[in-house]
Amino acid sequence: MLPIGPVGYGNSPYSALSAFAGSPFLICLDRLAEQGLISRADLGAPTDFPHDRVDYARAAAYRTTHLRTAFAAFRAASGPERAAYDAFCAAERHWLDDFSLYAAIKSAEHETSWAVWPEGRRLRDPGTLEVLRHELRDQIEFNRFLQYQFSEEWRRLRAYAHERGIGLIGDLPIFVSHDSADVWQHRDLFSLDDQGMPTVIAGVPPDYFSATGQRWGNPLYRWHSRRQGVYAWWAARLRTTLDRFDVVRLDHFIGFQRYWEIPASEPTAVRGRWMKGPGKRFFEHMQRALGSSALPLIAEDLGCVTPAVQKLRDHFRLPGIRVLQFAFGTDPQAPTFLPHAYPHRAAVYTGTHDNDTTVGWFEEAGGGESTRTPEQTEKERRAVLAYLGVADGSQIHWDMIRMVQMSVAGTAVVPMQDLLGLGSRSRMNRPGLATGNWEWRFLKSELTHELADRLGTLSRIYGRE
């Protein structure tokens, strides 16, 4: 699943406000009603919300009203639940206190980035922060309450899954947002100037998705000059993530071997340079910190993959990623994305959150804003039909699902949009575009018994139960 932190700029889960906190949007209001913290009758039914899109502003307003009601009721309570809350706050203090303060100040500053806060707040003057902890104490405690409720609910979710033999695969972005509690709290671990602004930023050079590359804008870690601090922060981050998931997709794995450094003043990612990443030393440190030589990670090794990246991945026996959509185009790695070339130690996807849906990809005309010409699009269509051995694309999503299921790859992943056979309107993200992403959602009613039976049948046939 996508990262589950509180979304930041552009409502992107990859620009979360914290690498440790959970999104309050994922707190179930019905469960709070079951606890007696809110009235189910007061919840109503927001029937005028869009069917297949998330309206983040309206959803936040609707949910916050009820979460505050629940918070007021919780504060008046005592007993085991309150003791569990106190224990949670004590155990997570290393990130929770600063995140709760950061989120409270951000609310008081009308949700602006910490980079434009008054100097005392921006640069964490101790006296200023002590005053704010007193002035904003109610909001700070509300933020702690939200994280406690999220944690408890996620714990129950994971236990429910485990009882049914189901594991959860999470997603861990390599970089964090500049406007996050993490960078605000640990400015010394990132390449920032004296005022807290990035001097260099992350991205990737021109590629399949964009002719000018991708200027992500995330601050870069001081991997070498602040190694001990960065590694300690990463170890804590991994422990928290693995408390929630059984396996984690490590986003932009190539960045651990080398990363694209862009001067912060550059408007695109074209004028950057490759820099040496932390490499083996980082993962050896994580093995020691987690007390295991087998790291439960999937290496998202898409992009400018070099032999050195492959060597790093294979040294730690991490499965890499194969994307079936990429097997029929001009990607330099296309031959390795064909199922007959997969190794067992791999995770294969029909497509990812950065791709069009399979139906949208197949039906795209090409040209215009597309990354493919009409000729390339038609050539790929012919190639995929020939490879799949089908006469037309009327069931292209199921044909592709069958192909990844029957492959020898140890893990097969299918986006929900492909299970539902949806087109480009349901695409999750268009890399390089700052708005209009991360809004798609499905309804529970769309997850039918017929869909489950069809997927279950394929899973049984190909030994993926």
- pLDDT, one tens digit per residue, over 342-355 is 999 999 999 999 99
Q: Tell me what pLDDT residue 48 has.
A: 61
pLDDT over 90 for what percent of the chain?
A: 86
Q: Give the pLDDT band (50/70/90) at residue 371.
A: confident
Annotated catalytic residue 55? no
For residue 330, pLDDT over 60 is answered with yes
Q: What is the mean pLDDT of residues 411-428?
A: 96
User: Model confidence over 225-268: pLDDT tens digits?
Assistant: 999 999 999 999 999 999 999 999 999 999 999 999 999 999 99
Q: Tell me what pLDDT residue 210 has.
A: 77
Per the model's pLDDT, the better-predicted residue between 81 and 313 turns out to be 313
Q: Tell me what pLDDT residue 50 has.
A: 67
Annotated catalytic residue 251? yes
Q: What is the mean pLDDT of residues 322-339?
A: 93
Per the model's pLDDT, the better-predicted residue between 263 and 366 turns out to be 263
For residue 325, pLDDT over 80 is answered with yes
Q: Give the pLDDT band (50/70/90) at residue 45.
A: low
Q: Give the pLDDT band (50/70/90) at residue 370.
A: confident
Catalytic residue among 152, 246, 354, 439: 354
User: Model confidence over 147-184: pLDDT tens digits?
Assistant: 999 999 999 999 999 999 999 999 999 999 999 999 99
Least confident range from 107-116, 230-239, 332-341, 364-373: namely 364-373
What is the SS3 string spanning the chain?
A: CCCCCCCCHHHCHHHCCCCCCCCHHHCCHHHHHHCCCCCHHHHCCCCCCCCCECCHHHHHHHHHHHHHHHHHHHHCCCCHHHHHHHHHHHHCHHHHHHHHHHHHHHHHCCCCCHHHCCHHHHCCCHHHHHHHHHHCHHHHHHHHHHHHHHHHHHHHHHHHHHHCCCCCEEEECCCCCCCCHHHHHCHHHECECCCCCECEEEEECCCCCCCCCEEEEEECECCCCCHHHHHHHHHHHHHHHHCCCCEEEECCHHHHCEEEEEECCCCCCCCCEEEECCCHHHHHHHHHHHCCCCCCEEECCCCCCCHHHHHHHHHCCCCEEEEHHHHHCCCCCHHHHCHHHCCCCEEEECCCCCCCCHHHHHHCCCCCCCCCCHHHHHHHHHHHHHHHCCCCCCCHHHHHHHHHHHCCCCEEECCHHHHCCCCHHHCCCCCCCCCCCCCECCCHHHCCHHHHHHHHHHHHHCCCC
Catalytic residue among 300, 301, 356, 364: 300
Q: Give the pLDDT band (50/70/90) at residue 118.
A: very high
Catalytic residue among 207, 251, 266, 331: 251
Q: Tell me what pLDDT residue 49 has.
A: 64
pTM: 0.94
The chain-wide mean pLDDT, for the chain, equals 94
Annotated catalytic residue 354? yes
